[in-house]
Structure 1
Amino acid sequence: MKKISGLLTVSLLLLGALVFAQKQQKIGDNTTNIAPNAVLELESSTSGFLPPRMNHEQRNAVSASPGLMIYCTDCGDGQFQVFTNVNSWSGINSVVDVSSVPCGAYVTAGVYKKFMCYNLGATNTLLDPNIPVQAIHGNYYQWGRSAPVANASTSSAAITGWNSVNAANGSWADGSKTAYDPCPVGFRVPTKVQWDGVLANNTVSRTGSWTNDGNFSTAISWGPNASTKTLTLPAAGYRIGTDGTLLNRGGSGFYWSSTESSTYAGSLAFGGGSASTTNTNRTHGLSVRCVSE
């Protein structure tokens, strides 16, 4: 007897339910007495339901619709996940319900803006965004370019073939989202003014050792008070613009803005005792935290 995959079986049954709108389906040891409010019921005292299993890279390649469910084998310790109506995967058995985390900050007095909960390129977006670990450090980007130049797993050594030429003026822009902006739909690289607003209108707190030893457990946070964190940025260091060598991870963080400044570009820079906006060489590789458009 040939086996049919669980996904195909369910798909065929649901198709049958659509064709025969009033017909209900029951599969299992006892196929009588289906629940009156169920279009499909599985019944067994000896077996379980096994959904499609895949790693997070395979999951991300799926053209998903809200409600689609899979088992992600390398998300945390492995977990059931469902694709939500906000176009993201959420863990059914996740320790943290990230959909309820109010990620964002005040960018001016009384004006709250939503930020993505994780650095762009984070490999596990089901973890607590306020507890810094390697999986939420994300990628490094050169200003004005959409492709990452390194990630949190890349060696700290110089990178062969590093591009030391500045991106052209207008590659990113304050007034509108350009084609080179790496952020997903609905988000963009923040402006320098928005980063200044975060600094001026939120309460700062810090986590970790603030030592330049390459650790992943150091971060700065903002929120309405010191005990409430709504925007946490890992101290991911930066990739130097001459050859891509990683510097200062664990001791400082550098995040791009979309704002041009002569041949430089604006960025947010912070360490264990300071945080400010500055102008940075465009060929450096910095972190990106996207803000809602």
Structure 2
Amino acid sequence: MKISGLLTVSLLLLGCSVFAQKQQKIGDNTTNISPTALLELESTTRGFLPPRMNREQRNAVSAVPGLMIYCTDCGNGQFQVYTNVNSWSGITSVVDVSGVTCGAYVAAGVFKKFMCYNLGATNTFLDPHIPVQAIHGNYYQWGRSAVVADASTQAGAITGWNTAAANNGAWVDGSKTANDPCPAGFRVPTKVQWDGVLANNTVSRTGSWANDENFSTAVSWGPTASTKTLTLPVAGWRIHTDGALHDRGYSGLYWSSTESSTESSTYAWHMNLSSTNASSSNYYRVCGFSVRCVSE
């Protein structure tokens, strides 16, 4: 009985020791770990350095949602998180450097938050209303979460470009699907929401509107032409046949989640921006367009 009692006490002490080791604090001061933290880092002289790798190395990783790395050749370098199947995204925000919420009216009296930057922007600390390469973001095919190109991808044809359109239901208006590339709490806007932005806000334009692949052209909306709350860079698009870049600095195309009801199942709705117009249009789902996420 004494041996049994001693064994019981030993097992209890071992269990307590294992439980205590589930929390860990690393840094200059390793006492008083936060009771809700599994791992806490504390320092006033050193930072956290994640694994660093180039794009090719990143794509070879068998990633799961939530995995984080620093991609050395994504734009000018970018901290990224794996969010979905075949989808790496940079850290993005709905608040700009001035603390102003980004968004627009999507109907009379109905203001919706949008992310301040295109999905895949490589620097989300810049002013979102001044278009530069770092906020142009990625290109996506309709109905898919995979990144098909970004602002640093060469302009010519892309080897292995997918010319098969996503099926109906890959993205839908009524809810966010598993194929939606936007982060938690956001989704690809509907055609109705994009039409609402056009109808209920004041538009203004920035840049030269030259078809020369410039990064400095954008369209903005807000309560007045001088007060911008939503700015979309004119990032051009990737053509459906081979993924080659077209019209950056001259036209901007942004996906909606809405399927085409008047064309074949190879088409979907998007917002088309030009120097004189902004309107909804139908085009091939296998084109690579920009995505600007709206709050759910």
- The TM tier, using the shorter chain, reads 0.7 to 0.9
Q: Give runs of aligned pairs for residues 87-236 of structure 1, distance below 5 A.
A: 98=97, 100-236=99-235
Q: Tell me, yes or no, if structure 1 residue 266 matches structure 2 residue 246.
A: no
Q: Alignment partner of 1:98: what SS?
A: coil
Q: CA deviation at 1:51?
A: 2.7
Q: Give runs of aligned pairs for residues 6-155 of structure 1, distance below 5 A.
A: 8-10=26-28, 13-14=29-30, 16-18=31-33, 49-53=45-49, 62=68, 98=97, 100-155=99-154
Q: Alignment partner of 1:193: what SS?
A: helix
Q: Alignment partner of 2:279: what SS?
A: strand
Q: CA deviation at 1:280?
A: 1.3
Question: Partner of 2:83 in structure 1?
Answer: none
When normalised by structure 2's length, the TM-score is 0.72
How many Å separate the matches in 2 of 1:199 and 1:186?
23
Question: Partner of 1:287 in structure 2?
Answer: 290
Question: Partner of 1:36 in structure 2?
Answer: none
Q: In the alignment, residue 259 of structure 2 is paired with which amino acid?
A: E
How many Å separate the matches in 2 of 1:98 and 1:57?
28
How many Å separate the matches in 1 of 2:283 and 2:199?
21
Deviations 1:182-214, CA, capped at 9 Å, x for gaps:
100000000000000000000000000001100
| Cα contact 2:131–2:215 (8 A) shared by 1 | yes
Q: CA deviation at 1:77?
A: 11
When normalised by structure 1's length, the TM-score is 0.73
Deviations 1:208-227, CA, capped at 9 Å, x for gaps:
00011000010000001000
How many Å separate the matches in 1 of 2:179 and 2:67?
22
Q: Tell me, yes or no, if structure 1 residue 255 matches structure 2 residue 254.
A: yes
Q: In the alignment, residue 48 of structure 2 is paired with which amino acid?
A: P
Task: List alignment gaps of at least 5 residues for structure 2.
Answer: 1-24, 35-41, 55-65, 78-90
Deviations 1:8-28, CA, capped at 9 Å, x for gaps:
333xx24x2359xxxxxxxxx
Q: CA deviation at 1:54?
A: 5.7
Q: Alignment partner of 2:127: what SS?
A: coil
Q: CA deviation at 1:148?
A: 1.0
Number of equivalent positions: 237
How many Å separate the matches in 1 of 2:212 and 2:76?
27
Question: Partner of 1:68 in structure 2?
Answer: none
Q: Alignment partner of 2:26: what SS?
A: helix
| Cα contact 2:50–2:68 (8 A) shared by 1 | no
| Cα contact 2:76–2:122 (8 A) shared by 1 | no
Q: Alignment partner of 1:17: what SS?
A: coil
How many Å separate the matches in 1 of 2:174 and 2:226?
34
Q: Alignment partner of 1:206: what SS?
A: strand
Deviations 1:246-285, CA, capped at 9 Å, x for gaps:
0000001000000001421110001111110111110110
Q: In the alignment, residue 45 of structure 2 is paired with which amino acid?
A: F
Structure 1 residue runs of 4 or more that deviate by more than 3 Å after TM superposition: 52-58, 60-63
How many Å separate the matches in 1 of 2:198 and 2:99?
24
Q: CA deviation at 1:55?
A: 8.6
